[in-house]
Structure 1
Amino acid sequence: MNKSMVVGVVLGAVVVTAGGAVATYNMMGDKGPQFARVTDVTPIKETIRTPRQVCKDVAITHQKPVQDQHQVAGTALGAVVGGLIGNQVGGGSGKKIATVAGAVGGGYAGNKVQERMQANDTYTTTETRCNTVTDTREKVVGYTVKYELEGRVGQVRMDRDPGQQIPVRDGQLVLAEQQ
């Protein structure tokens, strides 16, 4: 072997040994704790409210328009029928009284019958009725994390649950996840 090759091998060995020593010192050197102990994690929640429309079809009963508001037709028809029936009863002046009484009673009855028939004269339609309801839900937006590091208690807000410990680098919490 020539002299320059021996010098090169010795220098290479020295550099490798020195690099290993520095790396070992950095790994073994006292950098403090590597983790902070988590003592409590509390979720921070936000309430989300979302309005929405709810519609349903409803059957609506309507009164048909009344043609004869005073029930004149029913009164007149009832009076005629009542008068005819009253005329069949009795004789002489009693017959006249019976005819008048039959007409009055028949007129009243005809009026009430027509009134009841008009009240029951209805039709049904379907209408859509809508109203607004609000759906609510809770969303976790972060976490309040209490921790202990070198005998000190601290608190920090994080975007995730860190579990049992938080990494520490150079005495500082590492809060962001490393990629």
Structure 2
Amino acid sequence: MNKSIVIGGTLAVLGLGGLAVGAYQVQTFEREPEPVYADILSVDAATRTVETPREVCENVVVSQRAPTRDPNRIVGTAAGAIVGGLLGNQIGGGSGKKIATVAGAVGGGLAGREVQERIEAGQTTTTTQRQCHTVVDTREEHLGYDVEYRYEGQVYSVRLDDAPQGNRVLMQDDKPQWHAADTATQG
């Protein structure tokens, strides 16, 4: 056999083998695409104020004017008229005595009425009353977190249950992967 054919064939086999190994290496060492991230611009807690009305009752001691048994103050007027009439009767004589008695009775009646009113005004009773009023309890309710992020020049907003960690989020198929393990990667 011709040496040149053997050497040429051997080189050809080696050349094809080298080409196959090179192609295999290109396939094997082909790099995966670099991960793409969106920048997180802001994270704000979202809350709302909840107001709940409720009724509060308590026993309160109340002082009030005692009810009068004589709203027209007849007893005071009569007693004053009698005393005034008796005093008026002690003054003067004849028809002057009658005028003084009448004037004393009228003046005594007015004075007796006034005295009775002042005495009754100072009389009070104390009772316990149940008084109720409405109060409003206020509390903040957590709704989640409002997050703004920038991806390919556009700003997007989303509300999440949990606050994202870090200052960027991994994107896959143009969608943020908020719960991906490398979300917290700092960039």
Q: TM-score, normalised by structure 1?
A: 0.68
The structure, 1 or 2, with the larger RCO (C-alpha pairs under 8 Å, 6+ apart) is 1
Q: Matches of 1:156 and 1:69 in 2, distance apart?
A: 75
Q: Conserved in 1, the CA contact under 8 Å of 2:35 and 2:170?
A: no
CA shift, 1:99, in A, is: 1.7
Task: State the match for 1:61 in structure 2.
Answer: 63
- Which residue of structure 2 aligns with residue 10 of structure 1? none
How many pairs align? 154
Correspondence 1:62-141 to 2 at 5 A: 62-141=64-143
- Give the AA of the match of 2:103: A
Structure 1, residues 8-50: CA drift from partner, whole Å, max 9, x if none?
Answer: xxxxxxxxxxxxx9xx959x522432x3221222332222222
Larger gyration radius, structure 1 or structure 2: 2
User: Could you tell me how far 1:76 is from its partner in structure 2?
Assistant: 1.8
Query: What letter is aligned with 1:45?
Result: T
> Structure 2: where are the runs of 5+ without partners?
1-24, 182-187
Q: CA RMSD in A?
A: 2.9
Deviation string 1:103-161 (CA, Å, 9 cap, x unpaired) is 12112211222233233332122323221122223333122222234555433321122
SS of the aligned residue for 1:44 comes to strand
Give the equivalent residue in structure 2 for 1:159. 161
| C-alpha spacing 1:102/1:169, structure 2 compared with 1 (3 Å) | same
Question: For structure 1, which runs of at least 5 residues remain unmatched after alignment?
Answer: 1-20
| TM-score between the two structures when normalised by the length of structure 2 | 0.66
Q: Say whether the 8 Å CA contact 2:90–2:97 is kept in structure 1.
A: yes
Tell me the amino acid that sits aligned with residue 32 of structure 2. Answer: G
In structure 2, the CA distance between the partners of 1:79 and 1:42, relative to structure 1 (3 Å rule), is: same
